[in-house]
């Protein structure tokens, strides 16, 4: 399978389909306005026709579609969890004991590490027995992976990994954002149709028992709105399906690239083909979000996915057409066992919330600490034990908070004492600080990234208190170091959107690095100054700026301060993806100018790439 060729073909076809879709969106309101104007004037105002009526209808129709689509888009800004919950998803607990759920979490974490993206939350659709999965969200930071119960129980580990790799491709290729925009635009046309249905009911006097009778004016307008809305929906769904089919081919090719195991993906598709009912879902929302899924989720005439046969043939050209029969009996038999477990999970969450309510950071404001029944209390004495303990800590939201505090503990006793004023459980911070001391410092970033998904599980009040305490630890010595700034920026960028949808960057204002010359110079100077040798600093800066195509920017003589770095990063985050990637290529060239990479450079570059939503694997660190 030449997946690179298939990827390029899918991307090229997607581009032209999106262009065609946008042209249709411009033309459709004109057609709809003509239909409505004709119906209104022909049946109600035959003697008073005016060109102004058409333009008035066009303006009203366009404004309504834009406002409704915008409303839907804003409502989806809370991230993929909104869609997962709408589909009936249950968040999988990191401490899950169910072997299928543990396997699922492990596979998702493996794929996140392989693709260098943050580990997303995982949801299971417990009521869905057919094999299917989806990825949803605006960015890599608020993305979620969802799978049906059938996916967790009917697929082998290799098949599950192939399906999850397919969904990660959607995350990396920006398909989630494209799908959200399609959903919002389609909702605008659906609203027009729904308005037509309402007027149709009023026209026939339905719901108005007192007056009764038929109202011709309402009927005429209803028919016009239904026709305009239907045409808009039809075009939107045709183009949505066409674009989505190309993105599915792209995701299939990327899955093979990720796993290097095409037969596993083909096998998963064959099991869907051999299942009675295919990959269809029971939920009524399947039609609205069908284009998010791994395979066709509903029975809509306009297929949002390519035929299974074509997808399998692209992976295995020699395939003879045989599917794999799936036995659903064990799923039915396990339903009784699943229900008590879900009830226990819900009860545990309610108990945790009840205990946490009202507890605080200092006195009545401390972050609540709920002691879990795990190895977290165990005293460790070597690296292997420390790593195992830190892995467990990262899976507990409250422990993850204390781990972040432990990473910021100062070595000067007087400053440390000032930091500890912000927390009640100082012994826990000390314990985690000592545990961290047993592992190499270059591994600290790995555990920060692993803890971030748990931080997203905090309540709004807990997260607010956590941020306040985190800043107290950072500012205890009245200054902010580069290390502290990097940790804070990573947490804020990846977690804030979970609690404040406005924090998610949805508009990109800079299309060229030339528009960000000053910001690029500041950030690149920050990288260059990570080495103490002035000659190396100038060489690193020069090589990096040449890669960026910014030949005239100058190295700052002094290290940029935290305020400069913050402002520059915020502007770079609003650049388009190609611009951000070009900047990172220059930054990487600056770091590797001497063929050596130290701990500071590794951490700076990895966090920078994550904050710019262009994750790049952690660099191999050679300490010098």
CB 330 within 8 A of CB 270: no
- For 492, the enclosing helix (H) or strand (E) is helix 482-499
Q: Strands of 121-125's sheet, edge to edge? A: 90-91, 121-125, 144-148, 133-136
> Could you say which of 167, 449, 484, 601 is catalytic?
167
What is the C-alpha to C-alpha distance for residues 514 and 252, in angstroms, rounded to an integer?
Answer: 36
In this structure, what are the phi and psi dihedrals at residue 133, rounded to the nearest 5 degrees? -160, 165
The DSSP secondary structure of 464-478, one letter per residue, reads HHHHHHHHHHHTTTS
In this structure, what are the phi and psi dihedrals at residue 622, rounded to the nearest 5 degrees? -115, 105
Long-range (24+ apart) CB contacts under 8 A made by 395-398 are 395/94, 395/95, 395/454, 396/94, 396/95, 396/372, 396/454, 397/454, 397/455, 397/457, 397/458, 397/462, 398/367, 398/368, 398/369, 398/370
What is the C-alpha to C-alpha distance for residues 335 and 302, in angstroms, rounded to an integer?
Answer: 33
Active site residue 101: no
What is the C-alpha to C-alpha distance for residues 145 and 171, in angstroms, rounded to an integer?
Answer: 9
Positive or negative torsion for Cα 103, 105, 111, 113: negative
CA 262 to chain centre: 25
Burial class (CB in 10 A: 0-12, 13-18, 19+), 206: exposed
Scanning the structure block, which residue is given the tokens 């090589």?
543
Question: Radius of gyration over alpha carbons of the chain, in Å?
Answer: 28
Query: According to DSSP H, which parts of 529-619 are helical?
Result: 534-548, 562-572, 577-591, 599-611
User: What is the rounded (10 degree) CA torsion for 478, 483, 489, 494?
Assistant: -140
Q: In 3-state terms, the chain is what percent helix, strand and coil (to 5)?
A: 65, 5, 30
In this structure, what are the phi and psi dihedrals at residue 96, rounded to the nearest 5 degrees? -55, 135
Tokens of 552: 């005239």
CB 205 within 8 A of CB 214: yes
> Catalytic residue positions?
167
């Amino acid at each position: 399978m030449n997946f690179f060729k298939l990827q390029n073909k899918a991307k090229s076809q997607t581009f032209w389909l999106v262009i065609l879709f946008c042209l249709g969106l411009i033309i459709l309101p004109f057609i709809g306005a003509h239909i409505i104007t004709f119906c209104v004037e022909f049946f109600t105002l035959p003697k008073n026709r005016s060109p102004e009526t058409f333009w008035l209808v066009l303006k009203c129709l366009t404004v309504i579609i834009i406002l409704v689509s915008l409303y839907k888009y804003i409502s989806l800004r809370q991230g993929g969890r909104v869609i997962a919950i709408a589909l009936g998803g249950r968040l999988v607990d990191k401490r899950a004991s169910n072997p299928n759920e543990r396997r699922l979490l492990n596979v998702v974490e493996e794929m996140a590490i392989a693709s260098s993206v943050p580990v997303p939350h995982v949801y299971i659709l417990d009521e869905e027995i057919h094999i299917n999965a989806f990825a949803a969200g605006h960015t890599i930071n608020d993305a979620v992976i969802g799978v049906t119960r059938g996916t967790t129980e009917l697929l082998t580990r290799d098949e599950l990994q192939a399906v999850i790799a397919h969904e990660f491709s959607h995350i990396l290729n920006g398909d989630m954002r494209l799908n959200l925009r399609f959903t919002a635009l389609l909702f605008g046309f659906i609203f027009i149709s729904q308005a037509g249905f309402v007027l149709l009911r009023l026209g026939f006097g339905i719901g108005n028992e007192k007056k009764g009778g038929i109202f011709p004016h309402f009927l005429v307008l209803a028919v016009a709105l239904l026709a305009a809305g239907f045409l808009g929906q039809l075009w939107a769904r045709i183009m949505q399906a066409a674009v989505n089919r190309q993105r599915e081919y792209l995701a299939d090719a990327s899955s093979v690239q990720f796993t290097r195991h095409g037969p596993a993906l083909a096998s998963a598709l064959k099991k869907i083909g051999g299942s009675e009912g295919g990959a269809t879902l029971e939920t009524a929302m399947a039609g609205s979000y069908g284009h998010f899924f791994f395979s066709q989720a509903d029975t809509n005439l306009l297929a949002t996915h390519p035929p299974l046969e074509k997808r399998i043939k692209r992976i295995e050209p020699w395939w003879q057409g045989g599917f794999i029969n799936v036995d659903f009996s064990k799923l039915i038999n396990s339903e009784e066992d699943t229900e008590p477990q879900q009830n226990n999970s819900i009860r545990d969450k309610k108990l945790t919330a009840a205990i946490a309510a009202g507890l605080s950071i200092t006195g009545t404001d401390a972050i609540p600490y709920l002691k879990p029944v795990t190895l977290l209390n165990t005293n460790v004495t070597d690296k292997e034990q420390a790593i195992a303990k830190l892995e467990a800590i990262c899976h507990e939201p409250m422990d993850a908070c204390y781990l972040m505090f432990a990473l910021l503990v100062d070595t000067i006793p007087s400053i440390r004492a000032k930091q500890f004023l912000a927390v009640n459980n100082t012994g826990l911070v000390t314990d985690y600080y000592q545990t961290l001391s047993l592992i190499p410092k270059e591994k600290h970033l790995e555990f920060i990234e692993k803890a971030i998904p748990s931080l997203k599980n905090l309540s709004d009040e807990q997260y607010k208190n956590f941020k306040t305490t985190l800043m107290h630890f950072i500012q205890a010595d009245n200054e902010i170091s580069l290390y502290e700034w990097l940790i804070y920026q990573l947490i804020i960028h990846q977690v804030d959107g979970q609690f404040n949808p406005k924090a998610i960057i949805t508009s990109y204002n800079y299309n060229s690095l030339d528009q960000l010359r000053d910001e690029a110079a500041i950030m690149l100077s920050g990288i260059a100054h990570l080495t103490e040798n002035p000659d190396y600093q100038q060489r690193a800066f020069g090589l990096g700026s040449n890669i960026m195509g910014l030949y005239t920017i100058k190295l700052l003589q002094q290290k940029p301060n935290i305020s400069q770095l913050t402002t520059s990063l915020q502007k770079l985050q609003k650049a388009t993806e190609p611009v951000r990637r070009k900047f990172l290529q220059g930054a990487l060239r600056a770091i590797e100018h001497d063929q050596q990479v130290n701990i500071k450079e590794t951490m700076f570059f990895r966090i920078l790439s994550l904050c710019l939503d262009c994750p790049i694997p952690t660099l191999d660190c050679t300490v010098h």
